[in-house]
Amino acid sequence: MMNNVAKLMIISALVSSLSGCFLTKIATMPMRVVGASASLVGAVVSVVPVAGNKVDEALETADEAIDTAADTVDDIPL
């Protein structure tokens, strides 16, 4: 029990000492990975004539929206 309390206190101390920039990067990195994955799927689907291009454009738009949201989170002053 005491070991768990010590671990919790160490983790709490580390989290409180991290800079805000680092914390926002941790939050936005998964967002950017998902957006990049959607973009990659769109590139593969775009090989299909006519319909593929529309899917690729939609996924590119979603990727841009995710990047914009991630940039907004990065700009939050902590």
Q: Residue-wise pLDDT tens for the chain (78 aa)?
A: 678 888 888 887 776 666 666 666 777 777 777 777 766 666 666 666 666 677 777 778 888 888 888 888 777 776
CB 24 within 8 A of CB 72: no
pTM: 0.46
Map residue 75 onto helix, strand or coil.
coil
- The answer to whether 21 and 39 have CB atoms below 8 angstroms apart is no
Is residue 30 within 8 Å of residue 70, measured between CB atoms?
no
Place of tokens 């990067």: 25
Give the contacts of 55 (CB within 8 A, at least 6 positions apart): 42, 45, 46, 48
Give the span between the Cα atoms of 42 and 53, in whole angstroms: 8
Which pLDDT does position 43 carry in this prediction?
A: 62
